[in-house]
Amino acid sequence: MEAALQHRSQIEAGLRLALKRDEFELHAQVQVDSDHRPIGAEALLRWRHPERGLVAPVEFIGLAEDLGLIVPIGQWVIERAAAQLAAWQGQALLGRLTLAVNVSARQLHDPGFVAMVRRAVATHGIDPGLLKLEITESAVLNDINEVVGLMQALGESGVRFSMDDFGTGYSSLQYLKRLPLSQLKIDRSFVNDIATDPNDQAIVRTIIAMAHTMNLDVIAEGVETELQRSLLGAAGCTRFQGYLIGRPVPVGEFEALARSLLERRRDAR
Helix or strand or coil: residue 32? strand
Interaction of residue 242 with ligand C2E, rule CB under 6 A? yes
Among 102, 162, 183, 201, binds ligand C2E (CB under 6 A): 102
Helix or strand or coil: residue 131? strand
DSSP 56-75: PGGGTHHHHHHTTTHHHHHH
Q: How many CB atoms lie within 10 A of CB 221?
A: 22
Q: Provide the mask over 195-214, with x wherever binding to ligand C2E is found by CB under 6 A and - wherever it is not.
A: --------------------
Residues 136 to 175 in contact with ligand C2E, rule: CB under 6 A: 164-165
What are the CA-CA distances from residue 235 to residues 59, 206, 220, 228 (Å)? 34, 9, 11, 11
Interaction of residue 75 with ligand C2E, rule CB under 6 A? no
Helix locations, the chain, DSSP H: 2-18, 61-66, 70-88, 105-108, 113-124, 137-141, 144-156, 173-176, 188-192, 198-213, 226-234, 251-268
For ligand C2E, which is the closer residue by CB, 188 or 205? Answer: 188
Cα–Cα distance between 68 and 79 in angstroms, integer? 18
Residue 30 CB, nearest distance to ligand C2E (Å)? 10
The partner in contact with residue 104, picked from Mg ion, ligand C2E, none with C-beta cut-offs of 5 to 8 angstroms by kind, is ligand C2E
Among 110, 134, 200, 217, binds Mg ion (CB under 5 A): 134
Give the pairing of strands 24-33 and 38-49: antiparallel
For ligand C2E, which is the closer residue by CB, 98 or 104? Answer: 104
Residue 101 CB partners (closer than 8 Å, separation 6+): 43, 77, 78, 81, 131, 132, 133, 134
Tell me which residue of 27, 12, 97, 101 sits closest to 62, measured CA to CA.
12
Interaction of residue 58 with ligand C2E, rule CB under 6 A? yes
The partner in contact with residue 77, picked from ligand C2E, Mg ion, none with C-beta cut-offs of 5 to 8 angstroms by kind, is ligand C2E
Interaction of residue 102 with Mg ion, rule CB under 5 A? yes
Residue 262 CB, nearest distance to ligand C2E (Å)? 20
Q: How many CB atoms lie within 10 A of CB 162?
A: 23
Helix or strand or coil: residue 137? helix
Stretch of 31-39, 98-106, 147-155, 232-240 lying at the interface with ligand C2E (CB under 6 A) = 98-106
Interaction of residue 44 with ligand C2E, rule CB under 6 A? yes
For ligand C2E, which is the closer residue by CB, 82 or 103? Answer: 103
User: Interface with ligand C2E by CB under 6 A: which residues?
Assistant: 29, 44-45, 56-58, 61, 70, 74, 77, 102-104, 134, 164-165, 188, 221-224, 242-243, 248
User: Interface with Mg ion by CB under 5 A: which residues?
Assistant: 102, 134, 164-165, 188, 221
